[in-house]
């Protein structure tokens, strides 16, 4: 079964929008850290950002509960 061009185009547009929104969210968090920690160094804010990325649950599931990408451990 092939996907028609209209459906393919819609899927491509949606994926591009997903990446754009993801990038916007990351930039917003960086700005948030800059606003909340104006006296922190760039390295300190980078570490805060890394920690935030690492500790942010994926769809409500903490990363340490994932065995493999997309699988939740029992």
Q: Where are the domains of the chain?
A: 28-58
Contacts of 55 (CB under 8 A, 6+ apart): 63
Per-residue pLDDT of the chain (74 residues; tens, 9 = 90+): 555 679 889 999 999 999 999 899 999 999 999 999 999 999 999 999 998 888 776 666 666 666 655 555 55
Cross-strand partners of 66: 72
Structure tokens at 36: 């909340």
Confidence at residue 54, expressed as pLDDT on a 0 to 100 scale:
81
Residue 57: what pLDDT?
67
C-alpha to C-alpha distance for 66 and 23, rounded to whole angstroms: 23
Tell me what pLDDT residue 61 has: 63
pLDDT of residue 62: 64
């Amino acid at each position: 079964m092939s996907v028609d061009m209209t459906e393919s185009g819609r899927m491509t547009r949606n994926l591009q929008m997903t990446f754009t929104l993801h990038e916007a969210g990351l930039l917003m968090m960086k700005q948030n850290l800059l606003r909340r920690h104006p006296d922190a160094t760039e390295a300190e804010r980078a570490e805060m950002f890394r920690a935030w990325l690492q500790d942010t649950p994926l769809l409500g599931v903490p990363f340490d509960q994932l065995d493999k990408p997309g699988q939740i451990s029992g």
